[in-house]
Structure 1
Amino acid sequence: MTTNTNDATDGDANGEDDFEEYADLGATTSNAMDIAETSMDRVRELVPDETLADRIRQKSVHATGDPEFQYLMRFTGADEDEPVRAGARAVLDEQPIVTDITMVKSGITGRGHDCPVQKAIGNGAELAAETGMTRTAASVLELDKQGVYDGAIAVVGNAPTAALALADCIEDGTRPSVVVATPVGFVKAAESRQRLREVAAEYGVPAITNVGRRGGSGLAAGLTNELVHVASDVREGTVSLDE
């Protein structure tokens, strides 16, 4: 299971915008920035740095400490960059970021965006008790009934059943701006991501996922934070979302 990503959620406001400036890997001091920049420079020696999708691959390698993880990433859309563009636009539009569990929510940076961030877990308790489904699946279905996932950045970092429930919601008409799904484990994890990819492709929902058993909350948070970073670069004029 992937560990945390070191994307901190505190820092000093930049004084110019309503949000706090994004600092890569959570760095705020000069020493921390040197470490962060050196770390990412080493990652870029191992992963291409040509496309928006490459930035997600780089973040996956950094989050897992495994250069081979870049080859496990999958991008659902008209091209590989589409889900990154969609995610960055959603950040710029201040769409909600909805995670499956608390750990993923805790890893989402508090800088560089004004998106409301909420977790699904804790909702749908009655549905779980009545049906016997997992709490995470029931939570996703409950929030979906409230329309929370339409237009949102939907993030699943832990629970395969949450990913399967989200796929059902998309099949029934829900349209997140983008899906980031890296549920981890030996039971239904790979299958849940495969189903999400298939449903997302069928209904035109951009998605970032991975193959295999690995994944986890830290990875999901790190990938989502990279969407925030791309949006920050767009805001600064150093990156364009034009196709």
Structure 2
Amino acid sequence: MTTKDGDFEEYADLGATTSNAMEIAETSMDRVRELVPDETLADRVRQKSVHATGDPEFQHLLRFTGTDESEPVRAGARAVLDERPIVTDITMVKEGITGRGHDCEVRKAIGNGAELAAETGMTRTAASVLELDKRGVYDGAIATVGNAPTAALALADCIEDGTRPAVVVATPVGFVKAAESRERLREVAADHGVPVVTNVGRRGGSGLAAGLTNELIHVASDVRDGEVDLGETAEKSSERRRDDGVDLE
């Protein structure tokens, strides 16, 4: 990959596009890789979680649901390569998804389902998820939840009823239902074979959800460039990734 002036070849179109920005991104990721393993695709998501939160301990809070820890990353990268939609719960998460390195439609759930919310009293985000699910939007999509626990709960119900997202990234934050919603999502996803990336505890948020989703896009870009093979369950990418970095936020 190159910038318009051809000065940089690595990841320029995914985030940093100036010499100063590239230097900052590379330095930041070098420091993260000193703190987080760099052996598997799941490790790349762990690295991104530390990068997004500024907390090295956050890597231990992530949970991966699938046949192995890297399955959600492989599934997400394949969905990006297949140009499947990325569906977020709220506007803030949508705005955090990079517009570079992919041709996926990025859309938000919030703003749909107003009638259902008014009729039932459920939250607008839950109603929005249910409304989009009725239209088949989530099947095969990357579903990203960064803010609303009720959106994660609604998505779990949809999966239980037969909806099959390509992958779910869910890091809703808060003191009420946040941890519980992610736990239910993990349980339902495991029962129905849907790959999921979540975390435990009360922490999370929109920036984290967007960052983790952006890492799926980053992995897809590496696949496109022949640097990652999704047929492998573990990739030793330390040598390559010591030489490059990107801020996808």
Q: TM-score, normalised by structure 1?
A: 0.91
Per the alignment, residue 52 of structure 1 pairs with 41
> Which residue identity lines up with residue 48 of structure 1 in the other structure?
P
RMSD of the TM alignment (CA)?
1.6
Tell me which amino acid in the other structure corresponds to 2:65: T
Partner of 1:68: 57
Contact between 2:114 and 2:128, CA under 8 Å: does it hold in 1?
yes
Change (3 A) 1:37 1:24: farther
The answer to whether 1:39 aligns with 2:28 is yes
Q: Match of 2:110, SS?
A: coil
Alignment of 1:1-243 (within 5 A): 22-23=11-12, 26-243=15-232
Structure 1 contact 73–210 (Cα < 8 Å) conserved: yes
Q: Which whole-Å deviations, capped at 9, do the CAs of 1:68-119 have from their partners, x for residues lacking one? A: 0000000000000000000000000000000000000000000000000000
Give the share of equivalent positions with the same residue, in percent: 88
> How far apart, in 2, do the equivalents of 1:53 and 1:24 lie?
23
Shift of 1:13: 8.9
Runs of 4+ in structure 1 deviating by more than 3 angstroms, as ranges, are 12-15, 21-25
Instruction: Tell me, yes or no, if the aligned pair for 2:3 and 2:17 is still in contact at 8 Å.
Output: no
* C-alpha separation in 2, matches of 1:24 and 1:77: 30
- Does the residue aligned with 1:46 lie in a helix, a strand or coil? coil
Instruction: Give the whole-Å Cα distance in 2 for the aligned partners of 1:175 and 1:27.
Output: 34
| Superimposed CA distance per residue, residues 150-191 of structure 1 (whole angstroms, 9 cap, x where no aligned partner) | 000000000000000000000000000000000000000000
Q: Distance in 2 between matches of 1:235 and 1:91?
A: 10
Please tell me whether the aligned partners of residues 24 and 229 of structure 1 are also in contact (alpha carbons under 8 angstroms). Answer: no
Report how far residue 26 of structure 1 moved.
2.2
Retained in 2: the 8 A contact 1:25–1:36?
no
Residue 25 of structure 1, CA deviation:
7.3
Rate the CA distance shift 1:81–1:208 in 2: closer, same or farther, 3 A. same
2: CA distance, partners of 1:97 / 1:36: 24
CA change 1:93–1:190 in 2 (3 A) is same
Q: Which runs of 5+ in 2 are unaligned?
A: 5-9, 233-249
Q: Which amino acid aligns with 1:104?
A: V
Structure 1 residue 23: Cα displacement:
3.8
Q: Output one character per residue of 1:112-166: Cα deviation in whole Å (capped at 9) or x when no partner.
A: 0000000000000000000000000000000000000000000000000000000
Question: Contact 2:13/2:100 (CA < 8 Å) preserved in 1?
Answer: no
The amino acid of 1:82's aligned partner reads: E
Partner secondary structure for residue 121 of structure 1: coil
Amino acid at match of 1:70: Q
Distance 1:24 1:200, change over 3 A: farther
Q: Normalized against structure 2, the TM-score is what?
A: 0.89
SS of equivalent residue, structure 2 residue 34: helix
